[in-house]
């Protein structure tokens, strides 16, 4: 729970700072890569449903590895942070620009890192070692 709140707070503070200091940013009213921008309320509903389903999966699965817990927390924190932007700013503030990639924000970084942890954890449990160490 602390990771989820930490992601939300760090994302909100970073966006507040960017806007307050007039940094260059874009407001993304769509989904990833500005897709479906005319369906922003639909996106909000989809995010809420996915968060609820993830929470249900989290609760129903009795034993999680530490890396899976951290990964799910990062994904949920990022999704909720971007949902807060959609509700209160009518779009997500994207301010990080790296070369040819689309602009993104800290919530997007958390989602990507969380999904990476989950995938690596699953791959490791299927093909990896049989040791008890959970570090990736």
104, burial (CB in 10 Å: exposed 0-12, middle 13-18, buried 19+): buried
Is 44 a member of any domain?
A: no
Domain coverage including residue 118: 1-11+50-122
Q: Could you tell me if residue 21 is inside a domain?
A: no
Q: Let me know if 11 is a catalytic residue.
A: no
Residue-wise pLDDT for 4-21, tens only, equals 999 999 999 999 999 999
Q: Please spell the DSSP secondary structure of 91-109, one letter per residue.
A: SEEE-B--TTSPPB-HHHH
For residues 69 and 73, give the distance between their C-alpha atoms in angstroms, rounded to a whole number: 6
* pLDDT value at residue 22: 93
What's residue 127's pLDDT? 86
Task: Give the C-alpha separation, 31 to 38, whole Å.
Answer: 10
Q: Does residue 16 form part of some domain?
A: no
pLDDT at 36: 52
What is the pLDDT confidence band of residue 106, given thresholds at 50, 70 and 90?
very high
Q: Is residue 75 part of a domain?
A: yes
Q: What is the DSSP letter of 133?
A: -
- Which residue among 11, 85, 108, 134 is the active-site one? 108
Domain count of the chain?
1
* Token pair for 41: 């309320």
Query: What's the pLDDT tens digit per position in 49-104?
Result: 877 877 777 677 657 788 888 998 899 899 889 989 988 888 899 999 998 888 99
In a domain, 130, yes or no: no
The yes-or-no answer on residue 94 being catalytic is yes
């Amino acid at each position: 729970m602390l990771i989820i709140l930490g992601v939300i707070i760090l994302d909100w503070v970073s966006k507040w700072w960017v806007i307050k200091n007039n940094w260059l940013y874009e407001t993304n009213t769509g989904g990833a890569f500005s897709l479906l921008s005319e369906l922003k309320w639909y996106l909000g509903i989809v995010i809420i449903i996915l968060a609820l389903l993830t929470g249900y999966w989290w609760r129903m699965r009795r034993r999680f590895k530490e890396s899976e817990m951290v990964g799910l927390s990062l994904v949920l924190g990022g999704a909720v942070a971007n949902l807060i932007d959609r509700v209160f700013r009518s779009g997500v503030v994207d301010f990080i620009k790296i070369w040819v990639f689309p602009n993104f924000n800290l919530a997007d970084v958390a989602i990507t890192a969380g999904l990476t942890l989950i995938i690596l954890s699953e791959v490791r449990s299927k093909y990896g070692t049989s040791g008890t160490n959970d570090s990736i």
